[in-house]
Structure 1
Amino acid sequence: MFVIIYFAAIGVLSTDGCYIAEPTGRAAEFSIRVARNKVVEAGLCAVIPCAFTYPHSLVQDPYKRVWFKGDPLNPTVEIPYSEPGEIALQPNERSCSIVINDLVEGENDGEYGFKLEWGAHQTYIFPERVRVSVTALSKKPSLHIPRLMVGQPVTLSCEAPGRCSGATPDITWELNGLPQRATPGNIMTSTGEVTYFSEMLFIPKAKHHNTSVTCRVLFKGNVTTEITRTLTVNYRPRILSSSGCAVQQGITTCICISEGVPLPVIDWNMPEAKTGKNSVMMAESSHTMIKSTIILPSSNTPITKAVCVSKNAVGVRMMTMETDKQ
């Protein structure tokens, strides 16, 4: 919430620490509209919207807008004004908004004030103070992973939290704990906000399914945040060489083992077989693998081959299995 404070100017501070008396009254009023408290996370920035008015009869152009921390006469830090455009101004107001970048816990916490400087070393210090509290960084990077298909190159992108124009963060990648090459970049808006990101070219393989990718962001002051995601790599089914058919004592048993992502389904094409109530079909599966078994009793019609058809949303595989007569 913003508060508006009117303060009757009873004097202006000169360089020797003395106040120069000025007439009071509405024409001599200063006012400031600013939040009293600002809670921000380490590594990011504090955007403090602010607007002020001043008596034109007293303050001469050009004047200088300065934010300070601590004692206004002996500040621990002074921050020159830079217009971030974060507040809607009334016709008689001027902006005093400020952005404090690269925040560090214990270093940037404290009270900040605003003052005007003009003329022959004249200064007006606004009485309002803004309390800035820096907390631990909890925000995570934004990680974008498109649909992954085996053998098809894609670009993974990671965006650092915050829209601050301070020091460029270091963004790194890991795939299963191993460092990866990437290309950094940034986008700046017309209001001065900056989005930092990194892109990694990736060619998925079947072995990458269920592996992890990590994006880690290091801000100034050794402030880090990271995000880890598990990869889902889609690939068409493949039928393992351990699949096949065998005939023992007139009973034909065919086994088809297939893997793929998404998990495939298996159908059998056995035109010579007469499946019925004495036939047995079983299936068992894991996350990426399915095993289908069909058992056919003896018949007068010999079964010479069986076709296993494995399919998922990506594609279809077929294997023709010859039976061994015994």
Structure 2
Amino acid sequence: MTIAEIAKLAGVAKSTVSRYLNGGSVSENTKLKIEQVIKETGYVPNTFARSLKAKKTSIVGTIVPRLNSYATSQTLIGIDEHLRENNYQLLISNTSQDLNREVESIYSLANQKIAGIILLATQITDRHLEAFDKINVPVLLVGQQNHHFYSVIHNDEHAGYEIGKYVISQGHKKIAYLGVTEEDIAVGVKRKRGFQKAVRYDNECEVHYFETSFKLTEAIKKFPAIFETYKPSIFVCATDNIALGVLKAAQMRGLKIPKDLSITGFGGYEVTEIIHPSITTANFFYKEAGILAAKNIVKLINNEEIEKVTVSNFELIIRDSVDKLN
């Protein structure tokens, strides 16, 4: 089915159908005729082809650091869900955690006449700032905050505080905090900062801070030296993935969780509930954050006002991986 065939069945000009599909002005009577034909024929417009011809596209580009991530996939589901409801199409660019590819993707999407860009950011460099300044396309960050841009962020610092408060309440005094690089402000800085605020006034607490990558296998490698040297009663892990690595490494050494070692994470990945023992974690609402991001980018595309920073909430989920020592 083509636009010409739709026009013939509706008894209107081809240009009228094209104008309707591109959001242009048509009379109410004509609009009803075209919609009736589309409904009867099951016609699906080629959004991408129309966008290439239109001055204003209906495609939103989303740049992600990796696809094999629960947080990323859930966020993309939320973005796609809301964009579809509002007749926008999602185009995904995966960078495999390569900052060079991330910057290249910004220019590449802009060259495809994209309507807006959502960046699931891990860090914002001067090259990012330069690229966004040059492309003249609405931009929204998810997961990181930068005063130059609009953003949707998770409440990482408060989540860190609540995890810290809970760990202290369970009587843990010897703590290993296993975080990530501080180049990642949300995960590497804010979660740790919140945790530090919670344990700051407990003089009996002995906390040692360590750094690993986001990879589960790296956490497995890091575990033995930390455990043997400091003998912590609990590992507070900056992500659920790191927590899963610590759990695996501990069980490989014959340790029983939580009797011999307690573990907490951040994220709320589904697998943390399924495994045994299930992991105590700060659950972030990634899908809802994706929906918020999609709502905000659509508003930016349409020159509507939004808050500079939108904060997505979280909940502390108490499970079986933390022993009560007091």
TM-score, structure 2 normalization? 0.24
More strand by share: 1
TM-score, structure 1 normalization? 0.24
More helix by share: 2
Larger radius of gyration: 1
Structure having greater relative contact order (Cα 8 Å, sep ≥ 6): 2
